[in-house]
Amino acid sequence: MDAFYDEGTLVAVLTTQPLDRALDYKAPEGGCWQGAFVEVPLGPRKVLGVVWGPGRGDFDYARVRSVIRVLDAAPMRDELRSFLERAGDYTLTPLSAMLRLATRAPGLGDAPSMRKIYRLGDSEPERMTDARRRVLDVLSDMGGLALTQGELAETAGVTPSVIKGLAKTGAVREEEAPRDTPFPRLDPDYGGKALADDQAVAAQDLRAGVASGRYGTVLLKGVTGSGKTEVYLEAVAECLAQGRQALVLLPEIALTAEFLTRVEARFGARPAEWHSGVTVTERRRVWKQIAAGGAQLVVGARSALFLPYRDLGLVVVDEEHDTSYKQDEGVFYNARDMAVLRASICAAQVVLASATPSLESWANADAGKYRRLDLTSRFGASLLPEMRAIDMRAETLPSNRWVSPSLQSEVLARLQKGEQAMLFLNRRGYAPVTICRACGHQIGCPHCDARMVEHRFLQRLVCHQCGETIAKPETCPSCGAEDKLAAVGPGVERLAEEAAELFPQARLAVLSSDLFGSARALKEEIEKIAQGGADIVIGTQLVAKGHNFPLLTLVGVIDADLGLQGSDLRAAERTFQLMRQVAGRAGRAEKPGVALLQTYQPEHPVIRAILSGDEEGFWQAEADERRAAGMPPYGRLAGVILSSTEVQEVFDLGNAMARQDAPLRRIGAQVYGPAPAPVARVRGRHRVRLLVKAPKGVALQPALAEWAAQFRLRGELRMAIDIDPQSFF
């Protein structure tokens, strides 16, 4: 049982303000529980805080101020408090910033807002109309249950004024009810499918894990379409049956729409949702109901991990390798790793699902830290696509063309059979570079060291780093030459232009995140395509994930070499994952699929591994290389990003940090850099990076903290530390 503090007792309150410690306050009238959400005075302001523990008492009692009030929210549980502490220690993030992640629901302290609901009254109105009759019929069908005005008006097919009128006569009772109502109950036995053999084995294993009531992590690996979702929904069912809460993390909002329908089909009702598209009032409802136990299942983006679950029993991380689980701004954390941490604190199970796991998870399973379950075949008749390379050295292509004659004729063959083809290019916009043919100047962003990308659809040049847009100039900003600016290289919009010329009779659909105003518009387009509303789908990374296109039988990868350029440690892994995922889009239904990879280096080991389908071989080889180099997951890395408006200042600090590295050397770690960050200037701030490499198993975080504490950040200087960085060159 948590501690209770009587009125006047000193309590330490952690606030979301950037202070380095919790502050002492007196418990308010009526006392407060440990973990209580409170409002406290801070200088002239009132701020949100959480009672973190007993006060320190190192301040004159008479001058200690009182907690203003205890908010109407369930106290934060011990489990969440220790999760925030440990996650903060791991990511070297101040506790106040961790608390901000856990209190991202506006109006937590407000009284629950009210709305009007209606039930059947006990008198008949004097004047009866058809519309009034329908309202009364609907309500009497509800057997005493209430409906909101909107629900009632829609079901009865009347305007709200009809309901208002009936309420005046007393035939309908109008009441005020709190808005933050519980979510409909989910039924674990509602709509389960008969599972295939390997699915049943995996589901049984997951169910047993959940039923054990202990912590455990499972890597659920299976090619796209093998039925992983169906399997982990069984683990969710077990969790619900145990009366505990489940969380399913998904990488992208676009995915949840299709997913929610599946959840509803399985459990008979929709789960709670948590992502950027959720309204402010709904967020507050979700937050409160999760704490109160009125939400059994949450489907959400990475930040759903910081919600105040009353009893979390299962976390599923779908597409666990997805880079969007890593937050690279503010608090640097990887939701996959944090899911494992939280589960280990609250005795929950974690399911990491992927067709192409991260090397980290693969290695953890290999080392026996995670269990591993494999689904080896695709569900039902669908087969894995055949994969082949198109050797671009042997193709003749006019300039400014990217679809090879071989690929063109394959696409034509699909079109003639009434099947769909997809052209994949992981580049948004029309052209990545705009160059002046007179002087060679390339148009760059005024705030960043990044090139501006032409977007014809928007009729602007856009910086993909900071979002700055400018109208495409008529004359070269450098030499003033007229009509000399030329687009260089392809983006999806340009590819669509080429496809329209090559296949004039085909209906094209372009899927790129910037072309849709909302997640809903995107969802509608995806559904239209799935039903055969397009012959050729042209898309970026967005199409690689999760969507079902049953008529699609050919995927053409325009530039399979793209991801292999540059010197990123994870380049091979990423390319491998992306190509496999894209290829997985083909042949999802009864028709077998083909994936064709246009490449200039068909003998590259990564391309060969993709084509041969020898996944274990690929991972083994990657693992051996990383082990030999002492790189993650066989060694530890941390990135340090320094930034300032003054370029000299950042380099001076970077150099000083590289020199004064004693705390790091003591644990056997090395510092590399300072070097300009990949984009050396963002939003007008100059950025340099240092990279710290340490052996596995040393206490890296305390050493980093001691090292960083040697330097004072004056003026405009900022330092961010990124533990386990995803990209760092």
Interface ranges with Zn ion (CB under 5 A) = 445, 447-448, 463, 465-466, 468
The values of phi and psi at residue 430, to 5°, are -95, -50
Interface map 535-554 toward ligand ADP (x if CB under 6 A): -------------x------
When asked if residue 674 is in the footprint of ligand ADP (CB under 6 A), the reply is no
32 marked as part of a ligand binding site: no
Give the binding-site size for ligand ADP (rule: CB under 6 A). 15
C-beta of 417: minimal distance to Zn ion in Å?
45
Between 355 and 448, name the residue whose CB sits nearer to Zn ion. Answer: 448
What's the helix, strand, coil split of the chain in %, to 5? 35, 25, 40
* Cα–Cα dist 365/368, whole Å: 5
DSSP state of 713: -
503 three-state secondary structure: coil
Interface map 175-214 toward ligand ADP (x if CB under 6 A): ------------------xxxx--x---------------
Nearest partner of 407 among 422, 385, 418, 417, judged by Cα: 422
Interface map 630-649 toward ligand ADP (x if CB under 6 A): --------------------
C-beta of 356: minimal distance to ligand ADP in Å?
12
* Cα–Cα dist 115/135, whole Å: 19
DSSP state of 444: B
Binds 289, which of Zn ion, ligand ADP, none (CB < 5 to 8 A, cut-off by type)?
none
Q: Answer positive or negative: Cα dihedral of 484, 485, 488, 494.
A: negative
C-beta of 444: minimal distance to Zn ion in Å?
8
* Cα–Cα dist 14/35, whole Å: 10
C-beta of 245: minimal distance to ligand ADP in Å?
22
86 three-state secondary structure: helix
Q: Look up tokens 């041969």; give the residue.
A: 612
Between 15 and 226, name the residue whose CB sits nearer to ligand ADP. Answer: 226
Binds 230, which of Zn ion, ligand ADP, none (CB < 5 to 8 A, cut-off by type)?
ligand ADP
When asked if residue 224 is in the footprint of ligand ADP (CB under 6 A), the reply is yes
C-beta of 374: minimal distance to ligand ADP in Å?
11
CB 290 within 8 A of CB 581: no
Radius of gyration of the chain (CA): 29
Report CA 377 to chain centroid distance, whole Å: 27
* Cα–Cα dist 486/60, whole Å: 71
Q: What angle do CA 285, 289, 290 make, to 5 degrees?
A: 115
Binds 28, which of ligand ADP, Zn ion, none (CB < 5 to 8 A, cut-off by type)?
none
Between 468 and 568, name the residue whose CB sits nearer to Zn ion. Answer: 468
Measured between alpha carbons, how far apart are the two ends of the chain, in Å? 49
Cβ neighbours of residue 392 closer than 8 Å, sequence gap 6 or more: 404, 598, 599, 600
When asked if residue 681 is in the footprint of ligand ADP (CB under 6 A), the reply is no
Name which position in 226, 420, 434, 577 contacts ligand ADP (CB under 6 A): 226
Largest distance between two CA atoms of the chain: 90
Between 234 and 454, name the residue whose CB sits nearer to ligand ADP. Answer: 234
Between 550 and 678, name the residue whose CB sits nearer to ligand ADP. Answer: 550
* Cα–Cα dist 99/94, whole Å: 9
Binds 229, which of ligand ADP, Zn ion, none (CB < 5 to 8 A, cut-off by type)?
ligand ADP
Residue 168 is encoded by which pair of tokens? Answer: 């005046």
Nearest partner of 382 among 584, 192, 577, judged by Cα: 584
Between 199 and 349, name the residue whose CB sits nearer to ligand ADP. Answer: 199
445 marked as part of a ligand binding site: yes
Residue 533 is encoded by which pair of tokens? Answer: 């509303």
* Cα–Cα dist 659/653, whole Å: 10
Binds 133, which of Zn ion, ligand ADP, none (CB < 5 to 8 A, cut-off by type)?
none
346 marked as part of a ligand binding site: no
C-beta of 659: minimal distance to ligand ADP in Å?
51
Q: Look up tokens 């901000």; give the residue.
A: 100
Between 378 and 636, name the residue whose CB sits nearer to ligand ADP. Answer: 378
CA distances from residue 427 to 296, 442, 537, 561, 586 in whole angstroms, order as listed = 39, 18, 15, 13, 20
Between 96 and 354, name the residue whose CB sits nearer to ligand ADP. Answer: 354
Binds 193, which of Zn ion, ligand ADP, none (CB < 5 to 8 A, cut-off by type)?
ligand ADP
439 marked as part of a ligand binding site: yes
C-beta of 452: minimal distance to Zn ion in Å?
8
Between 253 and 351, name the residue whose CB sits nearer to ligand ADP. Answer: 351
Instruction: Let me know if 284 is exposed, middle or buried by CB neighbors in 10 A (0-12, 13-18, 19+).
Output: buried
CB 378 within 8 A of CB 548: no
Between 222 and 489, name the residue whose CB sits nearer to ligand ADP. Answer: 222
When asked if residue 229 is in the footprint of ligand ADP (CB under 6 A), the reply is yes
Cβ neighbours of residue 417 closer than 8 Å, sequence gap 6 or more: none
* Cα–Cα dist 371/94, whole Å: 33
When asked if residue 587 is in the footprint of ligand ADP (CB under 6 A), the reply is no
When asked if residue 227 is in the footprint of ligand ADP (CB under 6 A), the reply is yes
* Cα–Cα dist 457/466, whole Å: 19
Nearest partner of 144 among 166, 173, 168, judged by Cα: 173
C-beta of 448: minimal distance to Zn ion in Å?
3
Residues 342-381 that bind ligand ADP (CB under 6 A): 379
Interface map 317-346 toward ligand ADP (x if CB under 6 A): ------------------------------
When asked if residue 719 is in the footprint of ligand ADP (CB under 6 A), the reply is no
Binds 447, which of ligand ADP, Zn ion, none (CB < 5 to 8 A, cut-off by type)?
Zn ion
C-beta of 509: minimal distance to ligand ADP in Å?
21
The values of phi and psi at residue 336, to 5°, are -65, -50
Nearest partner of 515 among 614, 631, 429, 604, judged by Cα: 429
When asked if residue 230 is in the footprint of ligand ADP (CB under 6 A), the reply is yes
C-beta of 259: minimal distance to ligand ADP in Å?
9
Nearest partner of 210 among 45, 335, 347, judged by Cα: 347
Question: What sections of 401-465 are H helices per DSSP?
Answer: 405-416
116 forms beta bridges with 176
Binds 1, which of ligand ADP, Zn ion, none (CB < 5 to 8 A, cut-off by type)?
none
C-beta of 450: minimal distance to Zn ion in Å?
5
When asked if residue 577 is in the footprint of ligand ADP (CB under 6 A), the reply is no
C-beta of 374: minimal distance to Zn ion in Å?
44
C-beta of 536: minimal distance to ligand ADP in Å?
23
Binds 169, which of ligand ADP, Zn ion, none (CB < 5 to 8 A, cut-off by type)?
none
- Which positions make up the binding site? 436, 439, 445, 448, 463, 466, 476, 479
- Residues forming contacts to ligand ADP in the complex (CB under 6 A) are 193-196, 199, 222, 224-230, 379, 548
Annotated binding site for Zn(2+): 436, 439, 445, 448, 463, 466, 476, 479
